[in-house]
Amino acid sequence: MPPPAASRLALLVRRLAFFVPAVVAGVPVPLPERAGPGAAAMEGVAAAGGRRRAVVVARVGPQPVRMPLAPSLKTLVLSGTNLTGTIPPQLGDLAALTELDVSKNQLTGAIPPELCRLAKLESLALNSNSLRGAIPDGIGNLTGLTHLTLYDNELSGPIPPGIGGLKNLQVLRAGGNPGMKGPVPAEIGGCSSLTMLGLAETGVSGSLPDTIGQLKKVETIAIYTTLLSGRIPESIGNCTALTSLYLYQNSLSGPIPASLGQLRKLQTLLLWQNQLVGAIPPELGQCKELTLIDLSLNSLTGPIPASLGELPNLQQLQLSTNQLTGAIPPELSNCTSLTDIEVDNNQLSGEIRIDFSRLRNLTLFYAWKNRLTGRVPAGLAECPGMQAVDLSYNNLTGSIPKELFGLQNLTKLLLLNNELSGLVPPEIGDCTSLYRLRLNGNRLSGTVPAEIGNLKSLNFLDMSDNHLVGPIPAAISGCASLQFLDLHSNALSGSLPDTLPRSLQLIDVSDNQLAPAR
């Protein structure tokens, strides 16, 4: 007669690793004292309360032995318990299991196909191990599954099409398995309960299937850093629950579908580093929840849509390294949540007409390497937290607005290779956070202001290739952090100051009219 269930079960808290690995490895070890006759009742509590913190482990008699032991076992949570070895196929005999979690261990070997016999399984967590081989085809038989997490293993092979039979599956996370190959199967559209689809950092290839649009509940699609190619299907506009779309670092081509405008809950749109072409769809202006747009490193053309100015929650707008034309839309002044604007490396032209006084949270404005004209906007000084401004390699004219140097947190001001003229304002000495200052390749005149000596944090100063005159101020010795000083190709005169910052590593004052060193 088999021992009653009460004596076959013991409840252990999850940290009892000294016991647990031995169980899974099938090696008998003594049970800790607290596993006693009361254990069955505790197992009842654990199951009834649906609590997953406790670890229920089966045993026969006083010695814990192999796993295929307690057919009544419902929950087996051995996450983060330093398990080694392979997953015992006998786990497939625990017919009552609803939750199996052996994540965050050092398990090796394949996922035993026997696990696909666990007809009551709702949650299967195998993530963060060193599992190899393919996802078993039979996974599609686990129709009760709501959560399947396989990420961060060494799995290979295709995603079994049978997965489409998992109508209750809410979370599928299989990313971080670089050897996983083949397409995202069209059958995925059958997973009608899916809220999270994670296949990032895998070798999945081919296009996203049109059936993706059937995922009406999906909130997050994370398929980045893969071999995905082809177009983003228009049908994605049917995924109206989507909040986060991460498709960056793929080989996606074709245009960004205008249907994205139907995604009224979309907050994060990351499509950077693909081969996307065509215009940025103005329809994105309808996605009022958008906080982060990154379309950098594509081949997008046409203007930055003015409709982006209708995104009150937009914090980061990253459009670097495309072929965008037209002006930076002044409508962006309405995006009062903006912290970052990065539109560098495009073909943008015209004047910068943003009303920066409305962008109180802006900390970073990069528009370098465009064809911008007009002046450096003095309004930038009205963004109190501004940290970095880079407007280099444009065709900006006029003088450097002295107001900029009132920015207490400005560390980086790069205005090189423009057509700026006038004096270097003495107010520069107020901008004590400055770390990197490059004004080279302009038409600046007058002297190097002595106030520069106040800049104790300044590390890199380049004013080369201008029309500066007069001596190098002795006060420059006050720049106690200065490592790089480039003043070459000006019309500086006098001799080098007797003291230079001791931190200096590189100095270039060539092509001036300095007196020979004494």
Ligand X SMILES: *[C@@H]1O[C@H](CO)[C@@H](O)[C@H](O)[C@H]1NC(C)=O
x/- binding map, residues 184-223, to ligand X, per CB under 6 A? -----------------------------x----------
x/- binding map, residues 324-353, to ligand X, per CB under 6 A? ------xx-xx-xx----------------
Minimum Å distance from CB 395 to ligand X? 4
Residue 478 backbone dihedrals phi, psi, to 5 degrees: -75, -15
Q: Taking CB under 6 A as the criterion, which residues in 56-115 touch ligand X?
A: 80-82
Is 154 a binding residue for ligand X by CB under 6 A? The answer is: no
Task: Answer whether 410's CB lies under 8 Å from 431's CB.
Answer: yes
Minimum Å distance from CB 18 to ligand X? 7
Is 267 a binding residue for ligand X by CB under 6 A? The answer is: no
Is 17 a binding residue for ligand X by CB under 6 A? The answer is: yes
Q: String of b and e for 299-316 (b: at least 16 CB within 10 Å)?
A: ebbbebbbbbbbbeebbb
Minimum Å distance from CB 154 to ligand X? 20
Could you tell me which stretch among 94-102, 231-239, 268-276, 454-462 binds ligand X (CB under 6 A)?
231-239
Minimum Å distance from CB 358 to ligand X? 8
Minimum Å distance from CB 418 to ligand X? 7
Applying CB under 6 A, among 15, 120, 167, 467 the residue interacting with ligand X is 15
Task: State the DSSP H helix or E strand holding residue 39, giving kind and residue range, or none if neither.
Answer: helix 39-48
Is 309 a binding residue for ligand X by CB under 6 A? The answer is: yes
Q: Is 392 left (phi over 0), alpha (psi -120 to 50) or beta?
A: beta
Is 477 a binding residue for ligand X by CB under 6 A? The answer is: no
Provide the 3-class DSSP secondary structure of residue 204.
Answer: strand
Applying CB under 6 A, among 235, 249, 273, 489 the residue interacting with ligand X is 235
CB closer to ligand X, 170 vs 259: 259
Is 289 a binding residue for ligand X by CB under 6 A? The answer is: no
Distance CA 452, CA 472 (A): 11
Distance CA 294, CA 321 (A): 11
**What is the size of the binding site for ligand X (CB under 6 A)?**
29
Distance CA 394, CA 377 (A): 13
CB closer to ligand X, 17 vs 388: 17
Task: State the DSSP H helix or E strand holding residue 24, giving kind and residue range, or none if neither.
Answer: helix 20-25
Is 129 a binding residue for ligand X by CB under 6 A? The answer is: no
Is 305 a binding residue for ligand X by CB under 6 A? The answer is: no
Minimum Å distance from CB 517 to ligand X? 34
Q: Is 297 left (phi over 0), alpha (psi -120 to 50) or beta?
A: left
CB closer to ligand X, 164 vs 213: 213
CB closer to ligand X, 347 vs 495: 347
Nearest-10 Cα torsion for 489, 492, 497, 503:
-30
Q: Provide CB contacts within 8 A for 113, sequence distance 6+.
A: 89, 92, 136, 137, 138
Provide the 3-class DSSP secondary structure of residue 314.
Answer: coil
Is 259 a binding residue for ligand X by CB under 6 A? The answer is: yes
Is 385 a binding residue for ligand X by CB under 6 A? The answer is: yes
Distance CA 139, CA 228 (A): 23
CB closer to ligand X, 7 vs 373: 373
Is 361 a binding residue for ligand X by CB under 6 A? The answer is: yes
3-state secondary structure 121-153: CCEEECCCCCCEECCCHHHHHCCCCCEEECCCC
Is 36 a binding residue for ligand X by CB under 6 A? The answer is: no
CB closer to ligand X, 17 vs 507: 17
Rg of the Cα atoms in the chain: 31
Minimum Å distance from CB 211 to ligand X? 10
Applying CB under 6 A, among 143, 409, 499, 510 the residue interacting with ligand X is 409
Is 417 a binding residue for ligand X by CB under 6 A? The answer is: yes
Task: Return the structure tokens found at 10.
Answer: 């013991």
CB closer to ligand X, 406 vs 494: 406
Indicate the length of the chain as a whole number: 518
Minimum Å distance from CB 475 to ligand X? 26
Applying CB under 6 A, among 105, 202, 238, 298 the residue interacting with ligand X is 238
According to DSSP, the residues that pair with 10 across neighbouring strands are 57
* DSSP states of 359-424: -TT--EEE--SSEEESBPPGGGGG-TT--EEE--SS--BSPPPGGGGG-TT--EEE--SS--EEE-
CB closer to ligand X, 181 vs 231: 231
Task: Answer whether 416's CB lies under 8 Å from 444's CB.
Answer: no
According to DSSP, the residues that pair with 171 across neighbouring strands are 147, 196
Distance CA 286, CA 143 (A): 37
Binding site for ligand X (CB under 6 A): 15, 17, 80-82, 116, 137-138, 141, 213, 234-235, 237-238, 259, 309, 330-331, 333-334, 336-337, 361, 384-385, 393, 395, 409, 417
